[in-house]
Chain A
Amino acid sequence: MENRSFYNEILTEHNVRPEFKHDLPDADIVLEGVNPSCGDDIFLKLKVEDDTIVDGAFVGDGCAISQASADIMLGMVIGRKKEDALQLGRTFMKMIKGEASEEEIDSLEEASALRDIAHMPARVKCAVLGWRTLKEALSGEDAEDDEDEF
């Protein structure tokens, strides 16, 4: 059957063979993120040195969108300054809301594979779970206090 669904190869690859879905025993930040609609439940684990994310991983269960998105995110933020990672997250949210420019979407590299989520309101929470948890982990802010969900 022709695959007209939203699941492209980048997504399925990150879901089926995730690079960062494993334990990280020496993590210094561990935070749980939950999306009750799909029952997605992840633990994001980060190792931060001098404002730089030097390593990261996640464990948990969830739908393909949540798992692939978290995996892609970790690939992008490891090695970056905290502030740069948060900036990427803000751009990602813009894309999910359908407000990002082509240039901004390009800057999201593999995460741009999730751009069509903008047309799928029921799955937005899956796509942003990893990024929302990252923001909470790095900034210590409760996502619920935020007006625009990131």
Chain B
Amino acid sequence: MKDYRSEFPLLTSEGFRKSTGMEHDWIYIDNAATSQRPQAVLDAEEEFYKKHNANPLRGNYPLSIEATQMYEDARRAVRDFIGAKSVREIIFTRNTTESINLVAYSYGLSHVKAGDEILVSIMEHHSNLLPWQMVARTTGAVLRFMECRQDGSLDLDEVREQITEKTRIVAITQVSNVLGRVNPIREIAAMAHEKNAVVVVDGAQSTPHMAVNVQELGADFFAFSGHKIFAPMGIGVLYGRKELLKVMPPFLTGGEMIESVSREGAKYAELPHKFEAGTVNAAGAVGLHAAINYVQKIGFAAMQEQELKVTKRALDGLRELPHVHVLGSDLPEEHTGILTFVIDEVHPHDVSEILIADGICVRAGHHCAQPLLQHLGIGSATRASFMFYNTEEEADFFVKSIASVRERMGYGK
């Protein structure tokens, strides 16, 4: 494999190198929480502030026009990256959570009525669950769940029956942040559209790992975060079908989202600016543009090949260990680089503490998906999540450390 690690300053920084007593450099396998950033992204963001900084969409002096152009270039890059029809369908937000809240508050509260139904999957991150709980509570609609099997798969026959004339919204993640499982969005979207329901897709975990085309998926709304795909924190995207966005009321109101304002009211700006109130995160958008370029330069095929290799190595190793239980599928290709597991009798926070002592960064807890863990019959779990810059050697160190956990916690081998 080409040495991509050298392109990520943090991974090669002094502070991340092994210190005395450590067998290896620090191993970062918490990529599902946030990715690391390549130099190209950091440069792009810095360059914006150093050479092009002005408030975009406002001034008519050259600097502001430049800033506006860079911001709108980023929007075009996102449009192409996810296969949207128009730049008017690309709204910049802070992150996936804000994107979904925008849909819930604006579309949800104006289109869902008492007695309607909202269908979500049991494996949603809280960010694609709590906004719908809010809509259901506020409107008197009913929230229903698509349950998954123990391996994380959905029963499409069951889903077909759950989507009815009453269903207004089907909200589902493309990839589970706990199981790494890819959901059959296209099939579910087709069922939803037959009943005139709109489909909201959480793309936070999919966009970093696979090519997405929102039109082919049949997503009416699609949300993702920049920071999980090598861009800066604080920039996110909401895609929405233009027909839907047009009739939606603004989410936030104030500056930059208007055409004209009088004492009594306002005429809102055209899409997408209607949904981008206040000064935007232009540098973040420019960073996201650089991140998209970076991903396209390497290509998802090469990234997936490496991610699968590392995931398989780790999964094979974990499955050798009798007290370790990996959630979800037995097949590494159905994990999107995410391995969530429990170890008999050892609390996940103690597991992660042992891993920290061995120089390995993972995530322990409920992964903002408490209903899924309850459904699978556990309280919390430890998650390792790999990116293409991780190596098989790192997977081996990880497995070795996990193999030692029970003994080090006083349970014998």
Contact = CB atoms under 8 A, between A and B. Distances in A.
Interface in A90-142: 120, 123, 126
Interface in B352-401: 353-354, 356-358, 365-366, 379-380, 400-401
Contacts of B401: 1
B409 A15 contact: yes
B347 interface: yes
A42 to B, nearest CB: 13
B410 A13 contact: yes
B347 A63 contact: yes
Given A38-B380, A39-B379, A39-B380, A5 B349 contact: no
A65 B347 CA distance: 10
Contacts of B354: 5, 7
Given A1-B401, A4-B21, A61-B379, A16 B353 contact: no
B111 interface: no
Contacts of A120: 353
Contacts of A63: 347-350
Nearest to A17: B410
Interface string A1-45: 111111101001101100000000000000000000111000000
Nearest to B379: A39
B353 A5 contact: yes
Contact of B358 (A1, A7, A62, A64): A1
Contacts of B348: 63
B61 interface: no
Contacts of B410: 7, 9, 12-13, 15-16
B206 to A, nearest CB: 28
B353 A123 contact: yes
Contacts, number: 63
A1 B349 contact: no
Nearest to B355: A5
Contacts of B366: 39
B357 A123 contact: no
B353 A7 contact: yes
A13 B411 CA distance: 9
Contacts of A2: 21
A1 B347 contact: no
A120 B409 CA distance: 18
Contacts of A64: 346-347, 350, 409
Which residue, A7, A65, A123, has most C-beta atoms of chain B within 10 A?
A7
A126 B349 contact: yes
B27 to A, nearest CB: 14
Which residue, B345, B349, B401, B404, has most C-beta atoms of chain A within 10 A?
B349
Contact of A16 (B349, B356, B404, B411): B411
A80 B353 CA distance: 33
Interface string B74-117: 00000000000000000000000000000000000000000000
B323 interface: no
12 contacts: A1-B401, A4-B358, A6-B353, A7-B354, A7-B408, A12-B410, A13-B410, A16-B409, A37-B349, A38-B349, A39-B379, A64-B346
Given A5-B408, A37-B365, 20 more contacts: A1-B358, A1-B400, A1-B408, A3-B357, A4-B358, A5-B353, A5-B354, A5-B357, A6-B353, A7-B353, A7-B408, A12-B408, A12-B409, A37-B349, A63-B347, A63-B348, A63-B349, A64-B350, A64-B409, A126-B349
